[in-house]
Amino acid sequence: MKSFINSIISNFNINQNNKDNKNNNNNNNNNNNNNNNNNNNNKILILNKENSNDKLFFKIWRNKYLLKEISYHLRLYNEHFGRCFDFQSLKKYEFKDYITSIGIRNDDNSIILNDLIPWNIDSITFYTTINEELLNKLPKSITSISVNNSIPMVVALIPSHIKTIEFQSNFQKALIQGFLPDGLKNLIFTNQSFQLTIGMIPQSVQYIQLGKDNCNLIENPDVLPKNLKTLKFGYNSTSLINQNTIPPSVTHVELNEFLIPKPWIGFQSNPFPNSVTYLKINAYSFYQIPVPPNVKTLIYSGNFSFKNSTFPSSSSSSIPTSSTSENINQESIFSFPKTLKTLTLSSDFNQPLKNLLPNSITKLTFGGAFNCQLENSIPKSIKFLKFGNSFNKIIKIGELTSISPSSNQINNENNDNEINDNNNNNEIEESNLEILILNRDFNQKILIGSLPNSLKELYFSYFFNQSFDVGSLPIALKKLVLGSNFNQQFKKNQLPHSLTWLELNFDYDQPFIPFESLPQSLTYLEVGRSFNQEIQFGSLPDSLEIIKFGFKFQQLLLFENLPKSIKSIHLCSNYNLLNNNNSNNIPYYLINNFK
């Protein structure tokens, strides 16, 4: 893929240079060829300094033919790059140029010894015993190897261009100091029983993943490299992580099921360095897990009960976890770090968060099981809020801002149906919420004033099928996506005059009332599979640029009924374009067909 794009840019550069040569010859007849070449080289250097490739990229991207070719190869790359083949299968595979990984078995050793590895392969999994000859013949294009069986324990045996090594479960031979190359970046253990010793891991390693039962590998804090950034612990480990075990350079930590030892219950000291900003916890038994004070991203797997008793400092806070009904309401002391920016709760989580979340959080994602009331649960700092499939509670006024705001004041361009705000004297602390996603089960009426005016994007999913009262949608809303079941007709001023993007999905089949249903701000409109209503004059706003019809749409489109602003009309491939549009004079360049 890279070579494909680079070849396009190279060809473009050649053409540009030829043009420059002609211009230089015309303008400077007294200069010789060497001067012209020097001038061209200087121009190329200047263009490079000015990030000329960015300009070339956009020129290429705007070319429809080249864009089609690039998209085609990108699609092939995305479909095939993650697959792994043995050499014999790869030779017969039609899209082998897009494969990046192969597996080497006993009968495939010759492809390494004879330099037959394709140029696009950068990862090899060895299912056979590796010898020194094989490692010495690895091409420099190979940056990642996975070892499944034995490998000679020889100092400096592995080439320096190898940046990632994975030891799979069958590999149980203890490593020796100097065996791993100094330039190694990523080290993955699957299920090894030997212990790691000081000097075994190069200081260059930045990523370590420990597999099942692997926490026993670390007993001395000096085992881990000082430049380590990411540390993932495996499953079923029973060793205690002591203070100073994790280097102060680590920013990402992942704890997996049963890793957390019972001595951590009531644990007072924090084993995590202050450098940790990302913490993922997969634990399903009741323990108290110390929280690093500077964490910005927390991801929980499990159904945790957070009960706000008192709020200690972040450095001594802990996460109580629970999985059974008898301990789900157990009292505990907990606080989230004040540095927390992103919180993701697992599919099992279904506990209230009243007065628990700090005002530092900007992104909050609930899992599939969450279906609790939101009173005092959503801080005003939240910008992105996503609920899981089970959430189906009425959103009350003030719940998305943790305060009770006054009713929205509705501003209509025609001053019709104006609703006066009787609570203008109330002090309102504005919410920062910009994106709200309500998933599958949500099917509740949107109350006037329940959604903050800061909201810019609103997404509903499958079951939602409620009409909107005038003023129930925020006055600054830009994008509205409605789910498969929605089939309510829009009446005057129900949609805010700020709206630019509207998606109506599968079941929607309601006529648009001319000059009333759709706001004049709308630029993109998509109607779903079922829509088959006549488009009358005035049905579509004068601002509309793109309209996309669904599978069942077979209505006659008259050019005079379309807004002058329209730039693209998307019709399904089954639309009878010839019979329906033979007399309406719609320019064909406006029409796009899709399957």
The tens digit of pLDDT for each residue in 170-186 reads 887 888 889 999 999 99
**Residue 137: per-residue pLDDT:** 84
Question: What is the per-residue pLDDT for 338?
Answer: 84
Assess if residue 107 is contained within a domain. no
Question: Do 398 and 503 lie in a common domain?
Answer: no
Specify whether 441 is located in the same domain as 491. Answer: no
Q: Is 158 part of a structural domain of the chain?
A: no
Distance, in Å, from the CA atom of 300 to the CA atom of 289, rounded to the nearest integer, reads: 12
- The answer to the question of residue 283 being in a domain is no
Total count of domains within the chain: 3
Identify whether residues 533 and 441 lie together within a single domain.
Answer: no
Q: pLDDT 10s per residue in the chain (595 long)?
A: 444 445 444 444 444 444 444 444 444 444 444 454 455 555 444 445 445 666 666 666 666 677 777 777 777 766 666 566 666 676 777 777 778 888 877 666 677 666 777 788 899 888 878 888 888 888 899 999 998 877 888 887 899 999 999 998 888 788 888 999 999 999 998 877 677 888 899 999 999 998 776 555 566 778 899 999 999 887 655 455 666 778 899 999 988 764 454 444 434 467 788 899 998 887 655 455 667 888 888 887 766 555 433 223 333 333 433 332 223 233 344 567 888 899 998 888 888 888 888 899 999 999 999 999 999 999 999 999 999 999 999 999 999 864 433 334 334 444 444 433 433 444 446 789 999 999 999 999 999 999 999 999 999 999 999 999 999 999 999 999 999 999 999 999 999 999 999 999 999 999 999 999 999 999 999 999 999 999 999 999 999 999 999 999 999 888 899 999 999 999 888 887 655 554 457 887 788 765 5
Q: Whose structure tokens read 């690039």?
A: 70
What residues contact 298, with CB distance under 8 A and at least 6 apart? Answer: 279, 280, 281, 291, 336, 340, 342, 343, 344
Strand partners, 482: 504
What is the reported pTM? 0.69
How far, CA to CA in Å, does 88 sit from each of 77, 105, 108, 119? 20, 10, 8, 16
Percent of the chain with pLDDT over 70: 66
* Number of Cβ within a 10 Å radius of residue 175: 20
Q: 576 lies in a domain? A: yes
Residues in Cβ contact with 426 at an 8 Å cutoff, skipping those fewer than 6 apart: 405, 406
50 and 12: one domain?
Answer: yes
Looking at this protein, which amino acid is placed at residue 68?
Answer: K
363 & 457 share domain: yes
Q: For residue 384, what are the domain limits? A: 348-406+428-462
Asked if residue 458 and residue 486 are part of one domain, the reply reads no
> b/e for 364-401, b at 16 or more Cβ within 10 A?
bbbbbbbbbebebbbbbbbbbbbbbbbbbbebebbbbb
Do 555 and 500 share a structural domain?
yes
Q: 557 lies in a domain?
A: yes
Report the 10 Å Cβ neighbour count for 108: 20
Helix (H, G, I), strand (E, B) or coil at 12: helix
- Any domain includes 394: yes
| Beta carbons within 10 angstroms of residue 490's beta carbon | 19
Is the same domain home to 493 and 576? yes
Judge if 352 and 449 occupy the same domain.
yes
Q: Please report whether residue 51 resides in a domain.
A: yes
Task: For residue 365, list its beta bridge partners.
Answer: 344, 386
Q: Are residues 395 and 453 in the same domain?
A: yes
Question: What's residue 210's pLDDT?
Answer: 84
Question: At 220, which amino acid appears?
Answer: N
Q: Are residues 448 and 513 in the same domain?
A: no
Domain boundary among 42, 61, 77: 77
The answer as to whether 518 is a domain residue is yes
Q: Are residues 548 and 579 in the same domain?
A: yes
